[in-house]
A and B are shown apart, each in its own frame.
Chain A
Amino acid sequence: MRNYFDSYIVLVALLLVGGGIVGGGLTANRLLRPDRPTLEKLTTYECGVDPVGEGWAHSYVRYYVFAYLYVVFAVDAVFLFPWATVFSAPGYGLTTLGEMFVFLAFLAAGLAYAGRKGVLSWV
């Protein structure tokens, strides 16, 4: 177990290096760049016209159904990975292959259902 976490220490080290690259770059940049904010400069940029209302406008997110589809499929897909490494191991073979087709059939049926319901066509 100890070894398992040891390998992730390298990852943390690299994360720190990455943070250092970005942070160091921005700090060095602070010395180079001018800093003269004016009221106009700090205005939100929208095609040169002064913005009306606030930026976090309400809008109709048309693809929220895609989000549902994605969540459903992605949760399924996560289980593919551990399964993928063992499915052809000795003693599994045809059984696990059959299970895969059950899995694929579920996904395909879900996709076909969404398509029939008109979710996948936009306009």
Chain B
Amino acid sequence: MLEVVVKLALVAAAFAVLPLLVGQAEHKVMAHMQGRLGPMYAGAFHGWAQLVADGVKFAQKEDVVPRAADRWVFKLAPGVALVPYLLVLIVVPIGPGGQVVLDLGLGLFFALAVMGVGVIGAIMAGWASANKYSLLGGMRVAAQLMSYELPMVFAASSVAMAAGTLSLQGVVGEWRWWWLPWQAVGAVVFFVAGLAELRRPPFDMPVADSEIIFGPYTEYGGLRFALFILAEYAGIVVLCALTTVLFLGGWKGPFLNTELGWLWTSLKVAVLAFLVIWLRVSYPRMREDQLQKLAWAYLVPLSLVQLAVTGVLKVVLG
């Protein structure tokens, strides 16, 4: 009982801290890569206090709910967008043995299902705002979810086939180094599809500011808006954690897997999070039709090929 309570507290703490770390890293990495001076002033040294300043700003802003909006759905949406990412963390193992809150038998399935719920928050926001631009943004979110959920599920089930289990703890237990080349296509498909589901650049068509203001979040301000942004960063943490666990061997490192498992997991997650930020800085936003084409013409066929490769090799070797 006590163990579970401590673990829940740890997950809640990780959920409160990690997204902010990613946010801070994004400020700094983007500032350096693009020569942005804005986030380099607050708090003197290297602009360390920028995130704090942002938080204070959000907290004291008025919470405006437009008259035309569907009030309840509008107010509920940020919660629906944020909380699922907290729930996914419950099945993510950071080390061998009991270093996971809940070793769910169908952990992989659970993680994918709950991650999908997060997107519904954005669709709710788009609908409830009663704003034409928000509605268009919400529609784009829905379109993106539908196109990219499929390759993501296929890539994930390829890992399930390789490991012969749906438990995330079990997947890492089965993982060997040669899975890296074996599941490489699946890993790329999973990561890219995950980015698209999180609506991260270059897949940020739903919030394209030059076309539809800020998409589903146009009418939001203050803390509710901050919750949406937090959900995006929490989503990055969850996506990187899942990619690490499924494709990069989770807690398995060069040495001391049992003692330093948490360190290897965190390192891999951090590197992937950096990659997410790097991609944002490097690629321009894709057009809506390019987005759909990438999913249906490339990612889905690639993930089907990965399923075939996984199946054949598994049967031949096993």
Spell out A's residues near B (CB within 8 Å): 7, 10-11, 13-15, 17-19, 21-23, 25-26, 29-30, 32-37, 41-47, 51, 54-57, 59, 61, 63, 66-67, 69-70, 73-74, 77, 80-81, 84-89, 93-94, 96-97, 100-101, 104, 107-108, 111, 114-115, 120-123
Q: Inter-chain contact count A-B, CB under 8 Å?
A: 200
Residue of B nearest to A120 (CB): B296
Q: Assuming A19-B79, A32-B60, is B289 touching A122 (CB within 8 A)?
A: yes
Nearest 10 pairs of A and B residues by beta carbon = A55-B130, A122-B289, A18-B83, A84-B160, A70-B146, A42-B67, A84-B161, A80-B157, A22-B79, A29-B223
Assess the B301–A14 pair: CB atoms within 8 A. Answer: no
8 inter-chain pairs at a CB distance below 8 angstroms, sorted by A residue, are: A19-B83, A26-B224, A34-B60, A44-B68, A46-B131, A81-B160, A85-B166, A115-B296
Assess the B166–A81 pair: CB atoms within 8 A. Answer: yes
CA distance A84 to B159 in the complex (A): 9
Assess the A59–B288 pair: CB atoms within 8 A. Answer: no
Q: Assuming A7-B102, A122-B289, is B130 touching A56 (CB within 8 A)?
A: yes
CA distance A22 to B121 in the complex (A): 13
Range of interface residues on B (Cβ < 8 Å)? 35 or more
What's the dominant secondary structure at chain B's contact region? helix
Q: Of B32-40, B187-195, B307-315, which stretch is located at the interface?
A: B307-315
Spell out B's residues near A (CB within 8 Å): 4, 8, 11-12, 15-16, 59-69, 78-79, 82-83, 86-87, 90, 101-102, 104, 106, 108-109, 127, 129-136, 139, 143, 146-147, 149-150, 153-154, 157, 160-161, 164-166, 213, 218-219, 222-224, 227, 288-289, 292-293, 296-297, 300-301, 304, 307-308, 311-312, 314-315, 318
Taking A18-B86, A36-B62, A80-B307 as known contacts, 11 extra A-B pairs with beta carbons closer than 8 A to each other, sorted by chain A number, are A7-B104, A46-B213, A63-B143, A81-B166, A85-B166, A87-B161, A93-B318, A94-B315, A97-B315, A111-B296, A115-B297
Assess the B288–A122 pair: CB atoms within 8 A. Answer: yes
A12 to chain B, nearest CB (A): 10
Assess the B83–A93 pair: CB atoms within 8 A. Answer: no
Assess the A104–B307 pair: CB atoms within 8 A. Answer: yes
Assess the A54–B315 pair: CB atoms within 8 A. Answer: no
A37 to chain B, nearest CB (A): 7
Point out the residue from B90, B132, B289, B300 that lies within 8 Å of A14, measured CB to CB: B90
Assess the A84–B293 pair: CB atoms within 8 A. Answer: no
Chain B residue numbers with a CB within 8 Å of A23 are 79
Point out the residue from B61, B227, B297 that lies within 8 Å of A120, measured CB to CB: B297
B163 to chain A, nearest CB (A): 8
Assess the A77–B102 pair: CB atoms within 8 A. Answer: no
Assess the B83–A15 pair: CB atoms within 8 A. Answer: yes
Assess the B315–A88 pair: CB atoms within 8 A. Answer: yes
CA distance A56 to B78 in the complex (A): 20
CA distance A44 to B213 in the complex (A): 12
Assess the A55–B135 pair: CB atoms within 8 A. Answer: yes
CA distance A26 to B131 in the complex (A): 23
Assess the A88–B164 pair: CB atoms within 8 A. Answer: yes
Assess the A14–B87 pair: CB atoms within 8 A. Answer: yes
Chain A residue numbers with a CB within 8 Å of B106 are 81
Residue of B nearest to A28 (CB): B59
Q: Assuming A17-B8, A51-B132, is B66 touching A45 (CB within 8 A)?
A: yes
B58 to chain A, nearest CB (A): 9
